Structure 1
Amino acid sequence: MGTWDVGPFDNDTAADWCGGFDDAAPDARRGLVRNTLARAAEATDYLDADVGDNAIAAAALVAAQCPGGEPAHPHYGPKQPAPDLTGLRTLALRALDRVLTEPSELLELWAESDDAPWHTTINGLRSTLTPQLPQNRPA
Structure 2
Amino acid sequence: MGTWDIGPFDNDTAADFSGDLDEAPEGEREGLIRDALLRAIGTSDHLDQDIAVEAVAAAALVAAQCPGGEPVTTAYGPDLPLPRLSTELRELAVQALDRVVTDPSELMELWCEAGEDGPWRAGLVRIRTALSAASSGGAAAPPAQG
Shared fold (TM-score greater than 0.5)? yes
Q: Percent identity?
A: 56
The yes-or-no answer on 1:133 pairing with 2:137 is: yes
Instruction: Report matched runs for 1:1-139 at 5 Å.
Output: 2-85=2-85, 86-112=87-113, 113-131=115-133, 132-133=136-137
Residue identity matched to 2:137: L
1:62, CA displacement in angstroms? 0.1
User: After superposition, what is the alpha-carbon deviation per residue over 1:42-63, rounded to whole angstroms, capped at 9, x for unaligned?
Assistant: 1111100000000000000000
**Which SS does the other structure have where 1:7 is aligned?**
coil
1:87, CA displacement in angstroms? 2.5
Larger Rg: 1
**Aligned match of 2:143:** none
Whole-angstrom CA distance in 1 between matches of 2:73 and 2:42: 27
Whole-angstrom CA distance in 2 between matches of 1:34 and 1:133: 22
Whole-angstrom CA distance in 1 between matches of 2:2 and 2:122: 20
Residue identity matched to 1:103: P
Residue identity matched to 2:110: L
Whole-angstrom CA distance in 1 between matches of 2:89 and 2:12: 24
Calculate the aligned-residue CA RMSD, in Å: 1.5
Whole-angstrom CA distance in 2 between matches of 1:3 and 1:14: 10
The 8 Å contact of residues 18 and 78 in structure 1, kept in 2 or not, is answered as yes
Whole-angstrom CA distance in 2 between matches of 1:74 and 1:12: 13
TM-score, scaled relative to structure 2: 0.88
1:134, CA displacement in angstroms? 5.6
- Stretches of structure 2 lacking an aligned partner (at least 5 in a row): 140-146
Please identify runs of 4+ aligned residues in structure 1 that moved more than 6 A. none
- Stretches of structure 1 lacking an aligned partner (at least 5 in a row): none
Whole-angstrom CA distance in 1 between matches of 2:44 and 2:79: 32
